[in-house]
């Protein structure tokens, strides 16, 4: 059965281990940091400049979860919205390496680290994606690994 | 040196492996789902009811990253804002087990799985926290493990 939404997109069979996806850029403003932190991560070092200066982060910095969400959005724009993606399964090995400060610009790459067919569902494959997110000075800010489901073009041709 | 903000809170030495933190409850509305997805995870199954019904999720469901952010917020309210927390280090083993649908209520528990002093920074300890997030029918929706830095009351008394 062909999915009318995804039929013209790249499917599992069209992906290759080692492919590198270049992400766009996102500038992280003070307003973005405070708005996100108020809803999800209301610590003084994400909300208040004076408190942030006295903290481990040394200044107002984004919630690490916000850095992850913004990185995910860059991957949707550059890759996931262009393939026959059916959703994420989970993350592992998420590490925050340096804080994202007010007006930093984040960008980076995502590399296809692994591809395997689902044993139980031959219509799906699982793509493993390694994020390397950096700031404008090329300092690493976050790494993580995502497992994402992708439709196979040919469900019968399981590897 | 005593931190004036955290001095009356529980410190690393006051935590015990096996302690279970009961989280509050968060009802996930259609507006919350669409607002978050527009910014961070703009897939049709998080934005449009008709498209969502035809998808793997079977109806409008929250972004998995939103479920994580809401769970983090519940942990801040129930625990992290009451201890001498200095911020998260990273996550691992995040798995989405069932989708969170419109008007579901999520809640759950977080268990202290491990406690260790930092080898390089005797003023800090690392608490490992296992999340078990469930919906109103007690079905699991997400599990994940957080490593979080906590101030030690006594930096000299490293275990």
Asked if pLDDT for residue A97 goes beyond 70, the answer is yes
Predicted local distance difference test score (pLDDT) of residue B140: 98
Question: How buried is B82 (Cβ within 10 angstroms: 0-12 exposed, 13-18 middle, 19+ buried)?
Answer: middle
User: CA-CA distances (angstroms) from residue A32 to A14, A81, B43?
Assistant: 36, 24, 21
Taking residues A120-127, what's their average pLDDT?
A: 93
Task: Kindly report the average pLDDT of chain B as a whole number.
Answer: 93
pLDDT tens track for A81-93: 999 999 999 999 9
Nearest residue, CB atoms, B87 vs list A57, A80, A144 = A57
Taking residues B126-135, what's their average pLDDT?
A: 98
Model pTM score: 0.93
Predicted local distance difference test score (pLDDT) of residue B159: 47
Note whether A65 contacts B64, CB cutoff 8 Å: no
Note whether A70 contacts B40, CB cutoff 8 Å: yes
Note whether B96 contacts A88, CB cutoff 8 Å: yes
* DSSP state letters, A14-72: G--TT-EEEP--EE--HHHHHHHHHHH---HHHH-HHHHHTSTTSS-B--HHHHHHHHH
Please state the ipTM of this predicted complex. 0.91
Query: Three-state DSSP class for B37?
Result: helix
Residue B3 belongs to what H/E stretch?
none
Sequence-ordered alpha helix ranges (H) in B3-158: 30-40, 44-47, 49-54, 64-78
Predicted local distance difference test score (pLDDT) of residue B60: 94
pLDDT tens track for B66-106: 999 999 999 999 999 999 999 999 999 999 999 999 999 99
Task: Give dist(CA A30, CA A36) in Å, integer.
Answer: 10
Nearest residue, CB atoms, B42 vs list A40, A55, A76 = A76
Percent of chain B with pLDDT over 90: 79
Asked if pLDDT for residue B54 goes beyond 90, the answer is no
Note whether B73 contacts A41, CB cutoff 8 Å: yes
Note whether A94 contacts B94, CB cutoff 8 Å: yes
Asked if pLDDT for residue B118 goes beyond 50, the answer is yes
Predicted local distance difference test score (pLDDT) of residue B1: 54
Chain-centroid distance, C-alpha A37: 19
CA dihedral sign, ordered A50, A53, A57, A62? positive
**In this structure, are residues A95 and A119 in contact, taking their beta carbons and an 8 Å threshold?**
no
Query: Three-state DSSP class for A112?
Result: strand
Taking residues B127-135, what's their average pLDDT?
A: 98
Nearest residue, CB atoms, A92 vs list B93, B96, B149 = B93
Pairing assessment for the beta strands B124-134 and B140-151 based on DSSP bridges:
antiparallel
Sequence-ordered alpha helix ranges (H) in chain B: 30-40, 44-47, 49-54, 64-78
- Within 8 A of B90 by CB-CB distance, chain A residues are 64, 93-96
Q: What contacts A50, CB < 8 A, 6 or more positions away?
A: none
């Amino acid at each position: 059965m062909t999915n009318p939404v995804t039929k013209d997109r790249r499917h599992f069979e069209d992906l290759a281990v080692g492919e590198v996806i270049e992400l766009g850029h996102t500038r992280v403003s003070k307003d973005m940091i405070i708005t996100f932190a108020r809803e999800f991560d209301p610590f003084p070092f994400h909300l208040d400049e004076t408190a942030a200066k006295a903290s481990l982060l040394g200044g107002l910095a984004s919630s690490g979860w916000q850095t992850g969400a913004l990185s995910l959005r860059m991957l949707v724009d550059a890759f996931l919205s262009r393939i026959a993606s059916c959703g994420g399964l989970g993350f592992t090995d998420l590490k925050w390496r340096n804080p994202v400060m007010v007006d930093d610009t984040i960008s980076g790459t995502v590399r296809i680290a692994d591809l395997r067919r689902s044993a139980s569902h031959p219509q799906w494959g699982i793509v493993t994606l390694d994020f390397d997110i950096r700031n404008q000075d090329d300092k690493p800010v976050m790494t993580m690994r995502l497992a994402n489901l992708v439709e196979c073009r040919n469900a019968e041709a399981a590897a």
